[in-house]
Amino acid sequence: MSETSAELLTAVRNYVTDLFTHQVKPEFVFHSLEHTEDVVEASSYMADHYRLNDEDHLVLLLAAWFHDTGYTKGEATGHEDESIKIATAFLNRNNVDETVIQRVGSCIEATRMPQSPVSLIEKILCDADLFHLATDDFKARSQLLRQEQESLLGLKIDKKEWRKNNISFLENHKYFTDYGLEKLEPKKHENLDRLKKKKQVKVVEEKEEKKVAFPYLSEPAATNKEAKEQQKNTERGAQTMFRTTSHNHFELSGLADSKAHIMISVNAIIISVVLTVLLGRIVYERQFIIPTITLLLVSISTIIFAILATRPSISSGKFSEEDIRAKKTNLLFFGNFYRMKLEEYQWGMNEMLKDREYLYNSMIKDIYFLGVVLSKKYRYLRIAYTIFMWGIILSSIAFGIAAIIGSPTAEPGQLIDY
């Protein structure tokens, strides 16, 4: 690793240490500076194991240092977003390359539960974040996490429930890297077996414990049923709204294309008549020169704006992994993915489908940009129809005046004497 990268990591370590020392609540006994240092150490060890290049190594360690700094806001929910903001601000101040900053953000985002790493360094960070599941220190770390939750909730968590949740988590968790599967999984299963073999502690009024520790579980069944039914109705309403709005937009787009086609066809006929009939007579009836030119310009201008109304606009057709992580790309529009490989598009769609908010926002974006396109179409169409309307009026008046005033005429082959 270069000297510049080493200096940056030293500055990051000092900065993160200061954040945890002065800005993270003491209640966070698990998500502490010690946990961050352990994650950095595990990341560094696995980076050496995989012989990462300098940039990947740097990105991984930067993400490891910053991944839990979002706890400075005082709560666990959404701490990944805050961590990304803190990392981005610090790295920008230190003139770090934008690509490195985006990759750091993607790594931190991948640690959000449920973890969703794609690249190797994201998988390494996710495994390092839960490295303690496969250590002899697992029991102590679990107690710290329970203590942290009790402090934040202000409630006592039943040991039986805590053990049950830990067993469920360990059973459903899998490491992502080959190293994790080969080296860490066996040790994690040993910890899981110890939990399962532990004798159950005495249960003290389980219903009362749930009411105290988890208030949201105390809702009446009827209320829960009504809430679920209301949620289903809301989902159906949203789906109907998206379907109807999209259909209306497509209908309006088809109508706009039809109107533009009419304008193009009519004015193409007018231009043909002007070129084949009127231009041949202008030599002998010169009073019609100005009206003819006016009509020709009107038709050409109308066709130009009608074509602009129907001319397609296609984007680059590519998206990046960072775009998906940041939820910036709308995969419902072909212009954002037509140049991507099928595997990359499938991954992006799966990521979007896993995130309800991302999916709905993509549908909203699709409707919005359809509206923007429609606005452009109808603006150009209005200009085309306005030019045609006033142009026909002016041309007709000009032809009428020319016919009334008249001018010297000449027979074929005869010159006009002025």
pLDDT of residue 51: 92
Q: Indicate whether 410 belongs to any domain.
A: no
Range with top average pLDDT, 120-134, 193-207, 216-230, 349-363: 120-134
Are 195 and 319 in a shared domain?
Answer: no
For residue 205, is pLDDT > 70?
A: no
Same domain, 355 and 255: yes
pLDDT of residue 326: 73
Q: How confident is the model at residue 182 (pLDDT cuts 50, 70, 90)?
A: very high
Q: Supply the range of the domain harboring residue 22.
A: 3-218
What would the pLDDT profile of 352-372 be if each residue is shown by its tens digit? 777 777 777 878 877 888 888
Q: Are residues 78 and 130 in the same domain?
A: yes
* Pair (308, 368) in one structural domain: yes
Residue 413 lies in a domain: no
The domain total for the chain is 2
CA torsion sign, 384 to 390 to 393 to 399? Answer: negative
| Same domain for 260 and 139 | no
The Cα angle at residue 333 between residues 330 and 338, in degrees rounded to 5: 105
Res 225 pLDDT > 80: no
Domain boundary among 198, 218, 238: 218
* Residue 287 in domain: yes
Q: How far apart are CA 286 and CA 292, in angstroms?
A: 10
Q: What is the pLDDT of residue 414?
A: 47
Question: Is the confidence at residue 201, as pLDDT, over 70?
Answer: no
**pLDDT class for 304, splitting at 50, 70, 90?**
very high
Question: How confident is residue 215, by pLDDT bands cut at 50, 70 and 90?
Answer: very low
Please answer whether residues 32 and 85 qualify as being in contact, where contact means their C-beta atoms are separated by less than 8 angstroms: no
Q: pLDDT tens digits, residue range 74-108? A: 888 889 999 999 999 999 999 999 999 999 999 99
Q: What is the DSSP string of 311-352?
A: ----------HHHHHTT---TTSGGGTTTS-HHHHHHHHHHH
Q: Is the pLDDT of residue 415 over 60?
A: no
**What confidence category does residue 233 fall into, taking pLDDT thresholds of 50, 70 and 90?**
low
Q: What is the band of 413 on the pLDDT scale with cuts at 50, 70, 90? A: very low
Q: Is the pTM of this model over 0.75?
A: no
Structure tokens at 241: 């709204």
301 and 171 both lie in a single domain: no
- By the 10 Å C-beta count (0-12 exposed, 13-18 middle, 19+ buried), 64 is classed as buried
- Domain C-terminal end among 218, 234, 256: 218
Q: Which residue has the tokens 């988890």?
A: 214
Residue 63 has pLDDT above 90, yes or no: yes
Q: Is 413 left (phi over 0), alpha (psi -120 to 50) or beta?
A: left
Q: What percent of the chain has pLDDT over 90?
A: 35
pLDDT surpassing 60 at residue 238: yes
CATH number at residue 134: 1.10.3210.10
All residues at 6 or more sequence positions from 20 whose CB lies less than 8 Å from its CB, including other chains = 32, 33, 36, 69
Q: What is the pLDDT of residues 147-156, one digit of tens each?
A: 888 888 888 8
Are 106 and 200 in the same domain?
yes
pLDDT of residue 4: 84
Residue 140 in tokens: 């102590």
3-state secondary structure of 74: coil
pLDDT of 359: 77
Asked if 346 and 377 sit in the same domain, the reply is yes
User: In the block, which residue shows the tokens 């990591």?
Assistant: 9
The answer to whether the beta carbons of residues 126 and 174 sit under 8 Å apart is no
Are 210 and 255 in the same domain?
A: no
Of 75, 138, 118, whose CA–CA distance to 320 is shortest? Answer: 118
Helices 342-354, 356-405: axis angle to 10 degrees equals 110
Query: What pLDDT was estimated at residue 295?
Result: 87
Q: At 198, is the pLDDT very low, low, confident or very high (cuts 50, 70, 90)?
A: confident
